[in-house]
Amino acid sequence: MYDLVVKNGTLVTPQGTVEADLGIVGEKIVAVGLNLAGKSEIDVSEKLVLPGVIDAHTHMALPVAGTRSSDDFFTGTRAAACGGVTSIVDFTVGSAKTTIPEDIESRQQVAKDAVIDYTFHGEVIGWKPGQESEFHDAVSLGVKTFKFFTAYGSSGRRSDSGVLYHAFRAIAKLGATALVHCEDDDLITSLVNQLTDDERGEMMSLARTRPPECEGAAIEQVAYYAAVTGARVHIVHVSSDLGRAAVKRAKSRGVHLTAETCPQYLFLTKDVYKREDAHLFSASPALRAKSDQDALWKGLREGTLDLVATDHCPFTVVQKTWKGSFLDLPYGLPGVETLLPLLYSEGVRKGNIGLTDLPYFLSEAPARVNSLYPRKGTLGIGSDADIVIFDPSARWTIHAKALHMAIDFSPYEGMEMHGAVDTTISRGRIVYSDGKSHGEKGRGRFIPV
């Protein structure tokens, strides 16, 4: 007899749907079949059963612009579980004064209160050729993805072309992956320098100074270095049609490249910068036009874009107090709890993607890109029992005050949702059900990859 059986549900996988039960022993899925019996059973008739969502891009407890993102690893992962997320991939906090392995070890201490499982991307800040051993040592610690910026030169985070070339060569030899935030720093700086004082006081200037051209140009450069070094590269938060097109060209040339987009680029446009509360929508890359939004959905359908992640980096209204310029704001938006409901309600139900695309974009692809598959990202036998039970008939409205994230603002406030998370199971343990969190502080584990 199994410890837990999820009975009578519709299992949704990238390969199709099937009516079946899941048998769980301890922390693993051990059986898929009919009429399974367990010590405990959950009847999920008329509900969808999906693999636990992996949010491959989050920023918990992140120091930004003199403040810190409002979710720490406890509140953020508790909220994630309430939204069907059973694993996150967060980031180390890089520094020119520390090594990547040191950053990993210190970040593990910050993350120890997590409710669900987690791993890290190693942030590459201040790295120089000759320090290749840092990547090897980081891989030994269980981190195989490394984050680079082609923007933010003024804060010391930018990696120039020499760094990208030498770092990519080292990463390729290790079979690791480079994640890249792609925006052309020189173009952004030149546009900001042309602004008048009045224009600096307009939120729409965020979109003007970080246009789609800066994304497309940076992706082209990064794809070139990926090609000549043989490195696997993942492009984070693609936001524009020009970015999508650059990714597609690289893939057509055989470059080992994958890419993600985010809910904010699928569901919001730069029209929000005309609102009175426009400053609350500060994020990088900037929000785009409706035509870019349509292109990103196309990119998912055609396979150019591989997954959807949130870039969850929440701030309160007070933290985003307007100081007179769009340049003087912390950049980031909340989203870890609303990822799955948004993708189902606005993606699947409106025909932008298919139902079986959902577990691919939110579970299998993030697991594969981040070397977590098949331990995570699938309902297969032997995989961790990370499971989401989703009620497609539920109706609700997004209100920040009703969510579990440490926020008082949601960019999706007032959106009517069709479909809601009913139950979340993390490694065989129920961490959310009946509208309540049951997650235990510190139960989440670091997943070495």
Same-domain check for residues 233 and 335: yes
Structural domain ending residue among the three candidates 369, 400, 426: 369
Residue 37 identity (one-letter amino acid): A
- Backbone dihedral region for residue 351 (phi beyond 0: left; psi -120 to 50: alpha; all else: beta): left
Two tokens, residue 162 = 């020499």
Two tokens, residue 417 = 């949702």
Same-domain check for residues 256 and 293: yes
Same-domain check for residues 421 and 297: no
Q: Is the confidence at residue 60, as pLDDT, over 90?
A: yes
Residue at 354 is within a domain? yes
Q: State the Cα–Cα distance between residues 106 and 130, nearest whole angstrom.
A: 23
Chain mean pLDDT for the chain: 98
Contact 224, 277 (CB under 8 A): no
| Residue 275 DSSP class | S
The pLDDT, as a whole number, for residue 271 is: 98
Contact 50, 388 (CB under 8 A): yes
The pLDDT, as a whole number, for residue 167 is: 98
Same-domain check for residues 427 and 356: no
223-240 pLDDT tens trace: 999 999 999 999 999 999
The pLDDT, as a whole number, for residue 164 is: 98
Structural domain ending residue among the three candidates 341, 369, 397: 369
Same-domain check for residues 415 and 317: no
Contact 340, 291 (CB under 8 A): no
- The single residue listed with the structure tokens 């331990």 is 375
Contact 287, 273 (CB under 8 A): yes
Contact 340, 87 (CB under 8 A): no
Q: State the Cα–Cα distance between residues 275 and 280, nearest whole angstrom.
A: 10
The pLDDT, as a whole number, for residue 73 is: 98
Share of the chain above pLDDT 90, in %: 99
Residue at 447 is within a domain? no
- State the pLDDT confidence band at 216, using cuts at 50, 70 and 90: very high
Same-domain check for residues 58 and 29: no
Question: b/e string for 74-106 if b means 16 or more Cβ within 10 A?
Answer: bbbbbbbbbbbbbbbbbbbbbeeeebbbbbbee
- State the pLDDT confidence band at 376, using cuts at 50, 70 and 90: very high
167-211 pLDDT tens trace: 999 999 999 999 999 999 999 999 999 999 999 999 999 999 999
Number of domains in the chain: 2
Q: State the Cα–Cα distance between residues 132 and 168, nearest whole angstrom.
A: 10
Helix, strand, coil abundance in the chain, percent, nearest 5: 35, 25, 40
- The single residue listed with the structure tokens 């935030």 is 181
Mean pLDDT, range 351-368, rounded to an integer: 98
Share of the chain above pLDDT 70, in %: 100
Same-domain check for residues 428 and 361: no
Mean pLDDT, range 83-91, rounded to an integer: 99
Beta strands in 172-292 (DSSP E): 177-181, 232-235, 257-261
Q: State the Cα–Cα distance between residues 281 and 362, nearest whole angstrom.
A: 24
- Residue 436 pairs in a beta bridge with 433
- CB neighbour list of residue 188: distance below 8 Å, 6 or more residues apart: 151, 209, 210, 214
Same-domain check for residues 339 and 415: no
| Residue 383 DSSP class | S
Contact 23, 29 (CB under 8 A): yes
- Return the HEC string of 324-356: CCHHHCCCCECCCCCHHHHHHHHHHCCCCCCCC
The CATH number given to whatever domain includes residue 21 is 2.30.40.10
Question: b/e string for 137-155 if b means 16 or more Cβ within 10 A?
Answer: ebbebebbbbbbbbbbeee
Closest CA to 262 of 233, 292, 232, 291: 292
The pLDDT, as a whole number, for residue 2 is: 98
Residue at 113 is within a domain? yes
φ, ψ of residue 226 to 5 degrees: the values are -60, -40
- CB neighbour list of residue 171: distance below 8 Å, 6 or more residues apart: 135, 146, 177, 178, 229, 231, 232
Contact 123, 93 (CB under 8 A): yes
The Cα-based distances of 378 to 19, 53, 332, 343 in angstroms read 16, 10, 30, 18
What residue numbers bound the domain in which 424 lies?
Answer: 2-50+384-437
Same-domain check for residues 315 and 228: yes
- State the pLDDT confidence band at 137, using cuts at 50, 70 and 90: very high
- State the pLDDT confidence band at 65, using cuts at 50, 70 and 90: confident
Same-domain check for residues 67 and 94: yes
The CATH number given to whatever domain includes residue 249 is 3.20.20.140
Residue at 376 is within a domain? no
Closest CA to 48 of 417, 390, 432: 390
Same-domain check for residues 130 and 272: yes
Same-domain check for residues 322 and 361: yes
Whether pTM > 0.75 for this model: the answer is yes
